[in-house]
Chain A
Amino acid sequence: MIPFAYSKPTAVDEAVKMAGPDARFIAGGTNLLDLMKENVARPERLIDINALPLRDVETTATGGLRVGALVPNSDLAWHPEVEARYPLLSQAILAGASPQLRNMATTGGNLLQRTRCYYFYDSAVPCNKREPGSGCPAKEGVNRIHAILGASDQCVATHPSDMCVALAALEAEVIVTGPGGERRIPFADFHRLPGDQPERDNVLEADELILAVELPAERFTTHYAYLKLRDRASYAFALVSVAAALEMDGDRISTARIALGGVAHKPWRVAEAEALLVGQLADQANFAKAADALLRGAQPLEHNAFKVELAHGAIIRALGEAAGGITQ
């Protein structure tokens, strides 16, 4: 940990003015403090945003739900509006971390949590995400938990969030503000693939602040499933997770959304896979076709080839549960 200056603004524009490449916003701190102790994050200034008025959960004019960036993960998961209107989100949040962490972690912070790649966390070894240009030992190293889709030569890390997988499936928007004013970022565009800039997890600029996450009007309250597969029953990151949401027209699927976690640098969606299901019967054969499409082009590493098969099975299982309308 390096010495840092600390400030606690009470207004959003004040906070944004303080922002810069040498500074980091801090809310729950569940990830940032760990990273600072390990010298992975080395901010010279911390801007504590906990005094900003970003804690509301409110219905929008279009019938959606706007969730303030500072709403804790626990509060959001157990919020009556979320439980009733976005049960997939509630389920995904509760699949993540531990109760203690969810109590501290915030909505905005969850979007910004960083990969759990072992090499990223160990400042004694190379990592392109931590030290651009230093190399990626994970590619040929201990890579059982790493990406099978969308990785680059420079980085094979995955995004660790469960909440974000549900938000991707629900097509939320991220509302951010900066010196240029507010902008809305579709969830699919918020996180990025590593490419040749693995140090950038998302498109947020250093002087931008997340204000809220906005969910579109309620859908998928009957046919949804969040399936998380991991190495222990709780407090473990996903090897593979699937957020599946369907709308049914009789026994046929009218809308399908499928997002994968634990397999890529961002929640993974494939439009073609979802389109394949529209108008089709909700059966294993069709689910398998969607799974094939989602996983097309997968490039497993030495120790994570199992993720392809695991994800395939998980997609079929999650779609089956969603189609069945199982109350989870």
Chain B
Amino acid sequence: MATDSGRAFACFALLCLLVLAAMIAIALGTVAIPPSTIISAIVSFDGSRDHILVTSIRVPRVIAALLAGSALAVSGAIMQAVTNNPLASPGLLGINAGAAFAVVSVMTLFGAGVGDIYVWFAFLGAAIAAIVVYALGSCGAFGRSPLGLVLAGAVVATFLTSLTTAVLIFDQSTLDAVRLWTAGSVTGRTMAQARTVAPYILTGLVAAVLLGRHLTTLTLGADASRALGQNPVVWRGASVAIVILLAGGAVALAGPIGFVGLVAPHIARMCVGIDYRWVLPFSALGGALLVVVADTAGRLVFGSQSFPVGVTIALVGAPFFLYLARTRLREET
């Protein structure tokens, strides 16, 4: 896949695979639905039981999985580029810790029956945590190197996670209400939920793809990027804003799924090289595929509608990732 046409072909193949996986995810389940019914349910909805099943349960769930997967994977790729660190993920910006803390505090204060509102609190918590991390990381003695961002992220995430754990240890009912959410799940997502979050995620995805060229430059390090005429501080700020849109939206929709944001960018880089103009679309497609396949596998294999995708995704993705890391990673660092 050394040439651009090869990469474009691979992208197209991945897209076809994704469409196929989405169709299978909609078709299979407790009741199998033939593809013709799925298409007619979307094109000409007639209110029959199968049509309602498709439009109100299976399609929203698949759309939520697609949105969350692509958003997490792309924001992970951006984080790894900005910090120049293979261990970086959206969680490093405090996104997961902030969202979890916001959701747990809302549930503790107002009880578990607050309904959909916690989606917004998750988004808000994620955004505030990320802004604090960025502000801390860009001031003080570290301001001009990514090390500041990395350490600030570790500090803030640790602080918020400790706070969350302290609440959960003493409050069993909140722990019971929140533990499925913290595993990461797309069970029972409605079209309305997907529609509220979709604009943020789609904006973020478009902006990220437009930014690809600059991300490649950022990975060369602060000195080289400045020598090439780039202002790393500006682009780092823009990248963080995009990550907040993407990962904040994903966490609000599907809870803190950790694995995708960390691993999908690595898989993309091992397949298409280090040029972020290709890494970003590849990560988006790969991440979406990973979440859809993992969610479907969880539904079919474990026979439970509420099996958290956060668990199956590691079971599906980790062996593949380990195989790639052993065989494709040749460059010595």
Tell me if chain B binds chain A. Answer: no
Residues of B within 8 A of A (CB): none
